[in-house]
Amino acid sequence: MSIIKTEDFIQSIADALQFISCYHPLDYIQAVGRAWEKEQSPAAKDALAQILMNSRMAAEGRRPVCQDTGIVVVFLEIGMEARFEAGADLQNLVDEAVHRAYTDPANPLRASVVNPPYGKRKNTGDNTPAVIHTRLVPGDKVAVKVAAKGGGSENKSRFTILNPSADLVQWVVETVPTLGAGWCPPGILGIGIGGTAEKAMLLAKESLMEPVNIQELMERGPADWKEELRLEIYEKVNALGIGAQGLGGLTTVVDVKIRDYPTHAASLPVGLIPNCAATRHIEFELDGSGPAEFAPPRLEEWPDVTWQPDEAAIQVDLDRVTREEIARWKPGDRLLLSGRMLTGRDAAHRRIQEMLERGEPLPVAFRDRFLYYVGPVDPVGDEVVGPAGPTTATRMDKYTEMMLGRLGLMGMIGKAERGPEAIDAIRRHQAVYLIAVGGAAYLVAKAIRKARVVAFEDLGMEAIYEFEVENMPVMVAVDSRGESVHQRGPERWRARIQEKGT
Ligand code: SF4
């Protein structure tokens, strides 16, 4: 029998969370490196280079790869011969580890968890509680898998119960385009097949903890039906041409993982969960001999890719930019932004709407300014702001008319596509929507020279800041005529892949 010390258990999980916040799994980042090598779409290749460069910088700086440092998910396999010290309550122990990791002054991680989940949605302040799944297994060890799952990709999870005679591949291939780009591809698809409704989702989530190894599978060939399915889905999803960040390109997924379980004769439950450019997970085992240790990977193992701002990019002075100037921008144009912009995301938009409804004056003027959808990580040392990448813009679609029409905003910066409602408002008000690379948060933050909270400080990371930026790299995603790069890019690349193959 082994005795797992409370402190060892807590510290191991806390260290694992700190570790995965700054170090991508090597298998994932090397797969992105291979995708970069073969990518032919210039926009997707640039996005992949930013993701790779961001990953290396985060590892070097020991800072989060993404501003969304995730909700913590822990899978525990507890040997029936293992014992925890007296008084242990698993949820409390894991939550203590999450608290310790997310409030670590050397590398504070963003607290993103809100409670209650509906209604007031108040931030719990330390990212607790974690979601834990526990299984009793033979043996005297405790196996722990720790993940920090980003909201953008978790939001794109899907579930269905198919007719047992239905074509599962067809469902996946039809479903992936409906996810848009808010899950920050290229990533991994986790698919759970069978069991019951909740079991299929759990299988999908746990499959994402497995190593990225589809290249090896392609080389040796499939050994069973699941491997055949993985290959078929991998090829068909990549043939959709969605590409990195949904810009159109050759690689949408770097792997497809599948787990299965027997199911009822009348059912075919299927869970689908994507993992994103901030794929973060690690596993370790405790045997009572002390805490787990995590050796930082060697930087030489990162793909040798350096990203430089495009010399042909249009320089934009945000303090002087005019409506006439933005009317000349086209979807896919690369810009380097300098000057001042405001920030705001879900909670700030909701509060602005409530204040307008009550007839209250707003604390900040938006007319002719740009608004960046972001919730940054707190800074450390001499940083102006912590990692500060874009959040999914689609969530702000319902506020777009209010922001552009009533408040006179000129442009927005976020990630992923906009829906018809927002595109319509952009066209009507001759505004513009720009994107930064989701998951390249540390790289983007390096362009921010000054940051100060200008309103709603109580909202924490959701407060309205004013950022002063220098050469912040973005791309025009929706121009003032309502043309969208997320429609044109994948269409063009899908046609090209069908015509020429990859
Ligand atoms: S990479 Fe994208 S989806 Fe993933 S955590 Fe970061 S912002 Fe969210």
pLDDT digits 0-9 by tens, 126-136: 999 999 999 99
Sheet containing 158-162: which strands, arranged edge to edge? 158-162, 268-275, 187-195, 253-263
Q: How far is the CA of 464 from the centre of ligand 1 (A)?
A: 20
Query: pLDDT tens across 307-334, in order?
Result: 988 888 999 999 999 999 999 999 999 9
To test the pocket of ligand 1, the residue of 24, 55, 183, 276 to mutate (highest count of ligand atoms within 8 Å of its CB) is: 276
DSSP H or E stretch at residue 448: strand 448-455
Ligand 1 center from residue 136 Cα (angstroms): 32
| pLDDT tens readout for residues 244-268 | 999 999 999 999 999 999 999 999 9
- pLDDT tens for each residue of 141-161: 999 999 999 999 999 999 999
Kind and range of the H or E run holding 97: helix 90-102
Token output for 278: 């901030």
Q: In this model, does residue 373 exceed pLDDT 90?
A: yes
Would you list the DSSP string of 421-433? HHHHHHHHTT-EE
- Nearest-CA neighbor of 143 among 209, 208, 75? 75
Q: Distance (Å, rounded) from C-alpha 459 to C-alpha 7?
A: 33
Distant-in-sequence, close-in-space partners of 250: CB < 8 Å, separation ≥ 6:
35, 38, 39, 40, 41, 44, 238, 241, 243, 493, 497, 502
Query: What is the identity of the amino acid at 215?
Result: Q
Q: Which atom of ligand 1 is nearest to the CA of 70?
A: 5
For the cut 90, the answer to whether the pLDDT of residue 499 exceeds it is no
Ligand 1: centre distance to CA 220 (Å): 32
Question: What is the C-alpha to C-alpha distance for residues 37 and 32, in angstroms, rounded to an integer?
Answer: 9
Residue 189's Cα: distance from chain center in Å? 13
Q: What pLDDT sits at residue 439?
A: 86
Pocket test for ligand 1, best of 32, 48, 65, 66 (most atoms within 8 A of CB): 66
Count Cα atoms within 13 angstroms, Cβ side, for 309: 20
pLDDT at position 502, please?
60
Stretch (H or E) spanning 332: none
Render pLDDT for 100-128 as a digit per residue (tens, 0 to 9): 999 999 999 999 999 999 999 999 999 99
The confidence score (pLDDT) of residue 86 equals 78
Does the pLDDT of residue 461 top 80, yes or no? yes
Residue 150 CA: nearest ligand 1 atom is 5
pLDDT at residue 452 greater than cutoff 80: yes
Q: For atom 6 of ligand 1, which residue has the closest CA?
A: 439
pLDDT for the residue numbered 372: 98
What was the pLDDT predicted at 209? 97
Q: Which residues line ligand 1 (CB under 6 A)?
A: 66, 68, 150-153, 183-184, 276-278, 389, 438-439
